[in-house]
Structure 1
Amino acid sequence: MLWGFQLEFKQSLRTKKLWVILGVMMLLYIPGFYLQKSSGREIETVQQAVSVLISNINGLGGFFIAILALLMGATAINSEIEKGTLRVAMSKPITRLSYIGGKFLAHTVVVLMALLLTTLVGIAGLVWLGAPLGGQLVTDSLLLNALLLLAMVQLIALGYIISTTVKSSSTALGVALVVMFVFFMIMPAIVQFMAAKDTIISEHPDWEAYREKSKEYQTKYLFYVPTTQIDVIVSDATKVTGSVNNPQVEYIGIGGAIRENLTNLGILVGLTFLYLALAFHRFLRMDLR
């Protein structure tokens, strides 16, 4: 497994799509802090800091890294078969399980590095904007990254299923992009419209009912979209109680939000293991010629 990990890790760091995606992400990410600083807006509380961090990392960063994770997985096996390197690897004293295990671990580490880079840039930007760098901010950042890593691992595993099903790596890339577009962009928009239609598209819109209905529909109809499940979880990091005229805002943090949404966390964990099991099973039984 160590041999497979080292080989795949070096190859992954040399791929153009990794650095292109990270470069584009940073080009969109970093100027946001500069614009916020130029406008005179400063971050004074942990709640504000985490809100910005969630918006940037789970929003912009999560989107680009999700594409990276799915594309890496979608070409993990079929490209090796096309190049003939998989047959060479299998001629060595290594089992199929060790090979795919090392490859998967390498992809996970690469995605983790991308997440940590995004988080470090985000925290540095928040400190530059005046955010208090304390234990709460660090803890919530780590918890947010743990959730995102779990989501990215799920996407890598989904990519492996595509890679062991579609023989052509170029076709697999197209399939992965279609999956990302339809299931991760189109379907969430449809579900949001369904929630809006049932609550706020009326003469007397109820925004609190819309929020609850949106969470319900996202959990029920978008269980296969890991980033959406994270959105549901982190949306409860701040609790608003009281009346409309006198709202009481309580910040419970990412940890509190996770405890409030164990069902969504269970969906994330369960589908990740399911995808991994399917991907590993297909690879162990597939024809590698």
Structure 2
Amino acid sequence: MSVADVIWKDFLNVRRSKGIWIAGSTYAVFAGLFLLIQRNQLRFYETGREGVIATVSQVNSLGSFFVPIVAFVVAYLAIAGERETGSAKLELGLPNTRRDVLIGKFISRSFVMVLSVVLAYAVVVAILLLTSYPVFPGPTLLALFGLMTLYTIAYVAIAIGISAAVATKARAAAVGFGVYFVLNVLLLFTTLGNLIRRLHVGVFGFSETPILYQFASQFVPNEGILVGIQSITGQSVTGRELPSSTAFYVQPEFMPVVLCVWIVVPLVVGYYRFRRADVS
């Protein structure tokens, strides 16, 4: 019952924060503006359905870069902020354990972010129904929504893990910015697989292992969701063909598992640090 109490209390606190709700609604605003701008481009595709699916894929690709920023804004102070102000000591003075606090904060902030994705997709559905009916791609849109929701929760888990692992707001902000920069900005110019290949072949002198580099690249959440989008729509959003290897762990269908790993591992690491932290 303690987890439920933490969820309810944290959600009430979030509900009073205008900044969080403004941040949470920005994805919907950008998605709506993007669709309105792109609707005139639908006539350039061979079929209306192809154009709609391509446009929705681009909305998800936009979200793959934008959602992590919103997730960090929503969640990075969930625990670190309370530790700095001293309210965490009061919260842990109740029957709540540190595990209860971490899980409760994660569920509460995930709920807020999922609401943000729901709002964005409600805008997308409304515009598509007005502009592209009857070629509305319902099943495709539903699958993309599920993938984006999982991606969103993964970044909430990363932010909560960071918030639990550090003691101050400044450290949470610095680590969160660093993680976002590495995963979403730095890897725009290269891939993790390419970096590992340079070390593996150029530094250590091993023979090339392409499947290892492919898996490493797709293990990054941003790359993983783009591969997942390709799997759902059949249209390339990464500039590369869909993977043809038979190894299951580089198949697009494995990407939800990768995102689940990004949910579990940051929470476990954050809990390990938080359990040993002095909150007094």
Q: Which TM-score tier does this pair reach, normalised by the shorter chain? A: 0.7 to 0.9
Whole-Å Cα distance in 1 between the matches of residues 254 and 42 of structure 2?
A: 40
Question: Which of 274, 277, 281 is residue 268 of structure 2 equivalent to?
Answer: 277
Question: Equivalent residue for 1:183?
Answer: 183
Q: Deviations over 1:202-221 (max 9, x none)?
A: xxxxxxxxxxx9x9856323
Equivalent position to 2:217, from 221, 240, 256? 221
For the residue of structure 2 that corresponds to 1:190, the secondary structure is coil
Aligned to 2:96: 94
Give the residue type in structure 2 aligned to 1:236: S
Per-residue CA distance 1:248-283 (angstroms, 9 max, x = gap):
xxxxxxxxxx99523333322223222222222322
Residue identity in the other structure for 1:150? L
Deviations 1:55-103 (A, max 9, x none): 11x2223332211213333222110111221111122222222222221
CA distance in 2 between counterparts of 1:40 and 1:222 reads 30
Cα distance in 1 for residues equivalent to 2:188 and 2:155: 17
Number of paired residues?
250
Residue 236 of structure 1 pairs with residue 231 of structure 2: yes
Percent identity for Structure 1 against Structure 2: 23
Change (3 A) 1:138 1:176: same
The residue aligned with 2:142 is: 142
Contact 1:25 1:61 in 2 (8 A): yes
Please state if 1:28 is matched with 2:30: yes
Could you say which residue in structure 2 is the equivalent of 1:2?
4
Provide the secondary structure at the position in 2 that maps to 1:236.
helix
State TM-score, norm by structure 1: 0.74
User: What SS does the corresponding residue of 1:94 show, helix, strand or coil?
Assistant: coil
1:53 corresponds to: 56
Pair 1:71-2:66 in alignment: no
**C-alpha separation between the residues in 1 aligned to 2:250 and 2:212?**
17
Q: 1:166: which partner in 2?
A: 166
Q: What do the CA deviations read for 1:182-219 (whole angstroms, capped 9, x no partner)?
A: 32111132129969xxxxxxxxxxxxxxxxx9x98563
**Structure 1 position 267 matched with structure 2 position 273:** no
Shift of 1:164: 2.6
Q: Deviations over 1:10-69 (max 9, x none)?
A: 22233344233345444433233333445684996444323222211x222333221121
Where structure 2 has 5 or more consecutive residues not aligned to the other structure, the ranges are: 196-209, 236-248
Give unmatched runs, 5+ long, in structure 1. 196-212, 241-257
1:115 matched to 2:117? The reply is: yes
SS for the counterpart of 1:132 is: coil
Sort the Cα spacing of 1:50 and 1:157 in 2 relative to 1 into closer, same or farther, 3 A: same
Work out whether residues 164 and 279 of structure 1, in 8 Å CA contact, stay in contact via their aligned partners in 2: yes
Opposite residue 230 of structure 1, the aligned amino acid is: I
CA distance in 2, matches of 1:151, 1:29: 16
Q: Is the 1:49–1:131 Cα contact (8 Å) retained in structure 2?
A: no
Which residue pairs with 1:154 in the alignment? 154
Q: Give the 3-state SS of the residue equivalent to 2:189 in structure 1.
A: helix
Q: Distance in 1 between matches of 2:279 and 2:72?
A: 21
Residues 42 and 48, structure 2, Cα contact 8 Å, conserved in 1? no
Indicate the larger mover: 141-150 or 36-45: 36-45
Tell me the secondary structure at the aligned position of residue 93 of structure 1: coil
> 1:94 and 1:61 mapped to 2: Cα distance?
35
Give the deviation of 1:122 after TM superposition. 0.7
How high is the TM-score relative to the length of structure 2? Answer: 0.76
Query: C-alpha distance in 1, partners of 2:223/2:120?
Result: 19
